[in-house]
Structure 1
Amino acid sequence: MPLNPDSPLAKLMATLPRAGKVEWIGLRPARDEVMVATEVVDAETGAGLVGDRYKGGSGKRGITLIQAEHLPVIAALAQRPDLAPSLLRRNVVVSGIPLIALKGRRFRIGDAVFEGTEDCDPCSRMEDALGAGGYNAMRGHGGLCARIVEGGTFRLGDAVEAL
């Protein structure tokens, strides 16, 4: 049942004190290959990120995002001293805005517009990437999947703004 947009809870959920920021961008060139970090990327409407192996796949998963503030938590739960974003296989690391607040909403990064579609749950590959318990270390911290509503270019340092 959808939330009444005029309800006090809906108003609280829509209140974001500031924009976020793109901290890292990565592309998966092919299955089981190391992610490639980049400073700029093109997003194509309904498709995905140019250069990413998932481009052209499911529109609701055109891009995956993870919260920078969750990386130290995942590292601690996986008993690792640090954590390279590429190990988590997400396209974009974002800081300063709660990604969960963008689920079901549209948001802009650079010239592109996205819509948060679903949680980005971890996959079994996290056991190999993070060690035993890696899957569970990421549960609840896997980030957000989004579809690309309007294609465009975005880059490191760009704002992540709810629309």
Structure 2
Amino acid sequence: IYGGPGLGKTHLLNAIGNEILKNIPNARVKYIPAESFINDFLDHLRLGEMEKFKKTYRSLDLLLIDDIQSLSGKKVATQEEFFNTFNALHDKRKQIVLTSDRSPKHLEGLEERLVTRFSWGLTQTITPPDFETRIAILQSKTEHLGYNFQSDTLEYLAGQFDS
């Protein structure tokens, strides 16, 4: 899932994880920002606990990683470990959902084999809602909260932001 900041990618990742846990309470689900994944890897590497790291990540049913572009330009060992984790989960037919601020083909500083893996599944962009959609969102939210704004007020508010 890719798109600009503030479009709800992180919210969507969390919603996916919550929905899976609601329907499959025993599912092993982990949401983690890419930067935290990198730090976790480096900590385990430094402590000589790589088997523990592998067991944690490779036994998941669903791995949700936010801002995967943070992996760009990282050392080969870090990208190698993510590559191996991705493959281990994929081979077991587990789900992996990634977010980024750009499409996989525009992720510079990543090994080509990672970019290829990212393109194996569904790739979806999130774009800012158009003006009419922003009005509809505002109207729905205000009605849900029990408010009734005039259309010119909703139009004004919809014009103040683009995401």
Note whether the superposition's TM-score is higher than 0.5: no
Please say which structure displays the higher CA radius of gyration: 2
* Larger proportion of helix: 2
* Larger proportion of strand: 1
TM (norm. structure 1) is 0.22
TM (norm. structure 2) is 0.22
Higher relative contact order, chain-length normalized (CA < 8 Å, sep 6+): 1
